[in-house]
Amino acid sequence: MIQTIVKRDGRTVPYDRGRIERAIFKAAAALGGTDESIAASLAVKVEEYLTDNLHNTKPSVEQIQDAVEKVLIEEGHARTAKEYILYRAGRTRVREMNTGLMKTYEDLTFKAAVDNDVKRENANIDGDTAMGTMLKYGSEGAKQFVEMFMLDPKHAEAHKSGDIHIHDMDFYTLTTTCCQIDIDKLFTGGFCTGHGFLREPGSIQTYAALACIAIQSNQNDQHGGQSIPNFDYALAKGVKKTYRKLYVKNLAKALEAYADLEDAEDKVKALAAAVKERTGAVPAYLNQAPFDEAAKEELAALGLSEDTIKRAQAFALRHTEKETERDTYQAMEALVHNLNTMHSRAGAQIPFSSINYGTDTSPEGRLVIRSVLLATDAGLGNGETPIFPIHIFKIKEGVNYNPEDPNYDLFKLACRVSAKRLFPNFSFLDSPFNAQYYKPGDPNSEVAYMGCRTRVMANVYDPSREQTFGRGNLSFTSINLPRLALKSHHNVDFFFELLANEIDLVFDQLYARFKIQAAKHVYNYPFLMGQGIWLDSDKLGPTDTLEEVLKHGTLTVGFIGLAECLTALIGVHHGQSEQAQNLGLDIIGYMRKRCDEKAKETKMNYSLIATPAEGLSGRFVRLDKKKYGIIPGVTDKEYYTNSFHIPVGFEISAYDKIRLEAPYHALTNGGHISYVELDGDPLQNLDAFESIVRCMKECGIGYGSINHPVDRDPVCGYVGIIGDTCPRCGRHEGEAVSIEKLRELKKTYPGMPDYECYIH
Amino acid sequence: MTAKKNVETVGENVGFERIRRITGYLVGTMDRWNNAKRAEEHDRVKHSTSTMEQL
């Protein structure tokens, strides 16, 4: 006698034969059956089967359903059985679909990005493409797996509840964040990316092309961005090689033309080698005289007159300079195009690339800097503003900051280009925390930032290698400061207690993640480690784990919403009162102190970052709104203010904003940035633009960026500020304009895009 | 004989591109920004380029 059954969730409920009857009848009815009495007798048979054959008087739902199938088949109702089985499988699918991950997948599959915030978590991934969606399937699945099976339950709970945010959790078991790639070292002697050897590049074109390949390859090994810290220094070598090759060719051409010299190219090549051997002089950009002087001897030995030599050298110089400059510009143009169009991560994403430059004062380095700036200024095929790479112009007194400095002209150019194209950003090598490492002429002593703001320089693990090349961040986890403030109910002492505990938890979690990363091998990072890009990875053997070299990287604590935190604690944020600013500095200062202590204690590079926070900016406030309701100045917006920034909506002068944010740069050794927003076109007031940059430098900012609107009308190609109507062709957004008018405009603006593609 | 008027136009439904900096990198259109970052961009106070002396 069956009296109770066990439901899927474990509950015991009274048995009801009628349910079995109804389920069987439903299946039969789907096939056209109408006889309820058959269903009734079959239900009895199911019951008997369970009690008499299986001796099961307290069956589970699964067991009952198994019994129904068996009885239906044995009694000759095969088609009904099939129908029942299908119905059962459908119910199972529905059940599984309702679990969180499957719901997420459903949304990814059926909702366009415009309706799905998850698809727009990362703005540089197109969530609507097949590859973008596939990346998201993998990413969401991995996150759930990590949360359920890899994380310490304490850490998982803290993350899920919104006390902390573990960034890039989808990659938790797989890799590290980012790296500064020393391409000079990489290119020397050539390298591999997986199949086939790439010889050391021999011209500026191949230097630039391989720089892109290096970024793309490394992007496939890590989940964060890729940066080149020595862009000008490294590519200058390409310019040198191009110049020498071109000079030999051009001198040979001249001698063939002026003096009918046979086998001119071979002879000139031999001559150049001899000159180098004898005097060390080589053809050099903007410094051709030493070689020309020295070469007179070898040229005379070929039987050439003084006059011919003079004319030929002049010809060669003229053309080589021009061609070198053209080749360098075109190489930079190609680089900018390449970095805006190549895809990695299974085709879903353009690599997040950054380049640092500005301090190489050699003629070749200066040419690289000038060319990459001008190429950025020109834009992409139809004049569009390039999205990548992120450019960081390194400002340094004595090098490019003052009018008497050798690269000052390039600083001015950088401001002009930035005023149009939003890049370069500016880093400041004179800020005290950066200046302490600087050694003139040593690019590895120049702090280089990742485009996102990550900064890795000090090295507690190996103090003899406080450098930027070959290092990066391992992982970072952010603390929800506003929530801690809300929990502490205006009690600042209690807030600090809560903060202390949270930091302890984050240290634990960062270290646990490190242990997973450290257990991997070189073959898990074929490019980053296999090609020796990460510091000391070239010392590892195939069976070694990575612990000893990964320790050069940073384990970083981050934070968000200092402004909302202060408002929650004392009613105002640091833009509003000196007291708030002092408290803010105390809070961030305390976090930094804890990181320094932990670093010293463990000899590992724990650091503090002002978290970039893209996906995170909304997550914490959403959770806090649910938990605490809407609190003015704290949870009444859809986002928390980034890191230590003054709230973006707060009326404050640019100067005051910079002044107030600067001291936080010194505290966030893991990375920081300050922004100034301009409303108009700074090209109309370049002096003002430059004065903002100078203000940043004087206030001790480490990394700064100036935002201004950059609009473009794809139809007529106008780039600048567009209000309601385009200043060039006059159309409103979405409005059509006559081809006649465009033809007329093209006379004034020959670089206009091809509007043919818009004609239906 | 009347000349056939053939006024061809282009650009219907073509919007303007508005490039803005998200968290340190540029995105060519705000269509791909998540809701929180869109809200933040909306709130950003802009400083006037014409009155820079009052920086």
pLDDT at B3 (0 to 100): 47
| Cα(A261)–Cα(A648) distance, integer angstroms | 70
Choose from A758, A759, A760 for mutation: most chain B CBs within 10 A. A758
Tokens 């799905």 correspond to A116
Q: Which amino acid is at A243?
A: Y
Q: Is the peptide bond prior to A463 cis by the omega test (within 30 degrees of 0)?
A: no
| Cα(B53)–Cα(B55) distance, integer angstroms | 5
pLDDT at A348 (0 to 100): 65
| Cα(A375)–Cα(A417) distance, integer angstroms | 10
More confident residue, A540 or A57: A540
Q: Do B21 and A705 touch (CB under 8 A)?
A: yes
Q: What is the CA radius of gyration of chain A?
A: 33
Considering only residues 683 to 702 of chain A, which have any Cβ-Cβ distance to chain B shorter than 8 Å?
Answer: 684-685, 687-688, 691-692, 695
pLDDT at A98 (0 to 100): 64
Cβ–Cβ under 8 Å, residues A549 and A517: no
Which chain A residue has its CA at the smallest distance from B34's CA?
A: A120
Proportion of chain A above pLDDT 90, given as a percent: 77
Confidence of residue B1 (pLDDT cuts 50, 70, 90): very low
Q: A705: helix, coil or strand?
A: strand
Q: Is A717 left (phi over 0), alpha (psi -120 to 50) or beta?
A: left
Cβ–Cβ under 8 Å, residues A536 and A464: no
- What would the pLDDT profile of A611-638 be if each residue is shown by its tens digit? 997 768 899 999 999 999 999 999 999 9
Cβ–Cβ under 8 Å, residues A546 and A466: no
- Exposed (0-12), middle (13-18) or buried (19+): which is A350, by Cβ within 10 Å? buried
Min distance B40 CA to chain A CA atoms (Å): 7
Which residues of chain A lie closer than 8 angstroms to B17, CB-CB? 384, 711-714
| Cα(A279)–Cα(A291) distance, integer angstroms | 9
Cβ–Cβ under 8 Å, residues A466 and A442: no
Tokens 């056209």 correspond to A32
Cβ–Cβ under 8 Å, residues A552 and A471: yes
pLDDT at A102 (0 to 100): 81
H or E stretch including A476? strand A473-480
Strands A4-6 and A12-14, sheet pairing: antiparallel
Say how many CA atoms lie within 13 Å of A305 toward its Cβ: 6
A363: pLDDT strictly greater than 90: yes
Specify which of A137-141, A199-203, A338-342, A675-679 reaches the highest per-range mean pLDDT.
Answer: A199-203
Task: Tell me the C-alpha to C-alpha distance, in Å, between residue A58 and each of A50, A585, A656.
Answer: 9, 65, 74
Q: Do A638 and B39 touch (CB under 8 A)?
A: yes
| Cα(A81)–Cα(A74) distance, integer angstroms | 10
pLDDT at A407 (0 to 100): 98
Q: What is the mean pLDDT of residues A360-368?
A: 98
DSSP A620-674: HHHHHHHHH---TTTTSSSSPPPTTPPPTTS---HHHHHHHHHHHHHH-TTB--E
A45: pLDDT strictly greater than 90: yes
From the list A682, A709, A736, the residue facing B9 with the nearest CB is A736
A195: pLDDT strictly greater than 90: no
Choose from B47, B50, B52, B53 for mutation: most chain A CBs within 10 A. B47
Start-to-end Cα distance in chain A: 76
Cβ–Cβ under 8 Å, residues B32 and A126: yes
| Cα(A406)–Cα(A314) distance, integer angstroms | 27
Nearest to A605 by CA among A537, A540, A544, A514: A514
Proportion of chain A above pLDDT 70, given as a percent: 96
Nearest to A755 by CA among B6, B14, B31, B5: B14
| Cα(A722)–Cα(A724) distance, integer angstroms | 6
H or E stretch including A605? strand A605-610
- What would the pLDDT profile of A101-113 be if each residue is shown by its tens digit? 888 888 888 877 6
Which residues of chain B lie closer than 8 angstroms to A685, CB-CB? 49-50, 52
Q: What is the mean pLDDT of residues B27-53?
A: 70
Strands A703-707 and A674-677, sheet pairing: parallel
Choose from B23, B35, B41 for mutation: most chain A CBs within 10 A. B23
A178: pLDDT strictly greater than 70: yes
- What would the pLDDT profile of A201-259 be if each residue is shown by its tens digit? 999 999 999 999 999 999 989 999 999 999 999 999 999 999 999 999 999 999 999 99
Q: Find residue B27's DSSP bridge partners.
A: B20
Q: Do B14 and A714 touch (CB under 8 A)?
A: yes
Average pLDDT over all residues of chain A = 93
A456: pLDDT strictly greater than 90: yes
Q: What is the mean pLDDT of residues A470-480?
A: 98
Extract the tokens encoding A533.
């890009």
Tokens 């920086």 correspond to B55
A727 touches B: beta carbon within 8 Å: no
Nearest to A741 by CA among A755, A723, A721: A755
- Exposed (0-12), middle (13-18) or buried (19+): which is A78, by Cβ within 10 Å? exposed
Cβ–Cβ under 8 Å, residues A191 and A182: no
Q: Do A618 and B36 touch (CB under 8 A)?
A: yes
B19 touches A: beta carbon within 8 Å: yes
A758 touches B: beta carbon within 8 Å: yes
| Cα(A396)–Cα(A209) distance, integer angstroms | 29
Task: Tell me the C-alpha to C-alpha distance, in Å, between residue A132 and each of A122, A166, A226, A343, B27.
Answer: 10, 22, 20, 11, 16
pLDDT at B2 (0 to 100): 46
B10: pLDDT strictly greater than 50: yes
Nearest to A574 by CA among A637, A622, A641: A641
- The sign one gets for the Cα dihedral A282, A283, A289, A295 is positive
pLDDT at A8 (0 to 100): 84
Q: What is the ipTM of this complex?
A: 0.73
From the list A650, A681, A715, the residue facing B11 with the nearest CB is A715
Q: B17: helix, coil or strand?
A: strand
pLDDT at A58 (0 to 100): 92
pLDDT at A310 (0 to 100): 96
Extract the tokens encoding A646.
């003054």
Which chain A residue has its CA at the smallest distance from B31's CA?
A: A114
Q: A565: helix, coil or strand?
A: helix
Cβ–Cβ under 8 Å, residues B7 and A738: yes
Task: Tell me the C-alpha to C-alpha distance, in Å, between residue A441 and each of A171, A359, A360, A401, A444.
Answer: 38, 8, 8, 16, 9
B5 touches A: beta carbon within 8 Å: no
Choose from A129, A710, A726 for mutation: most chain B CBs within 10 A. A710
- What would the pLDDT profile of A496-536 be if each residue is shown by its tens digit? 999 999 999 999 999 999 999 999 999 999 999 999 999 99
Q: A43: helix, coil or strand?
A: helix
Cβ–Cβ under 8 Å, residues A346 and A131: yes
B6 touches A: beta carbon within 8 Å: no
pLDDT at B55 (0 to 100): 43
Cβ-Cβ contacts under 8 Å for B39 (sequence gap 6 or more) = A618, A637, A638, A639
Q: Count CB atoms within 10 A of the CB of residue A608.
A: 27
Q: What is this structure's pTM? A: 0.85
Please count the residues of chain B: 55
Nearest to A644 by CA among A728, A540, A574: A574
Q: Do A648 and B9 touch (CB under 8 A)?
A: no
Say how many CA atoms lie within 13 Å of A295 toward its Cβ: 26
Angle at A609 between CA A556 and CA A569, to 5 degrees: 110
Number of helices followed by number of strands (H, E) in chain A: 25, 18
| Cα(A608)–Cα(A598) distance, integer angstroms | 11
| Cα(A100)–Cα(A628) distance, integer angstroms | 24
Cβ–Cβ under 8 Å, residues A521 and A542: yes
Nearest to A663 by CA among A568, A578, A604: A578
More confident residue, B26 or A552: A552
Q: Is A532 left (phi over 0), alpha (psi -120 to 50) or beta?
A: left
Extract the tokens encoding A336.
């900018």
Q: Which amino acid is at A361?
A: T
- What would the pLDDT profile of A395-449 be if each residue is shown by its tens digit? 999 999 999 999 999 999 999 999 999 999 999 999 999 999 999 989 999 999 9
Q: Do B10 and A759 touch (CB under 8 A)?
A: yes
Tokens 């086998």 correspond to A263
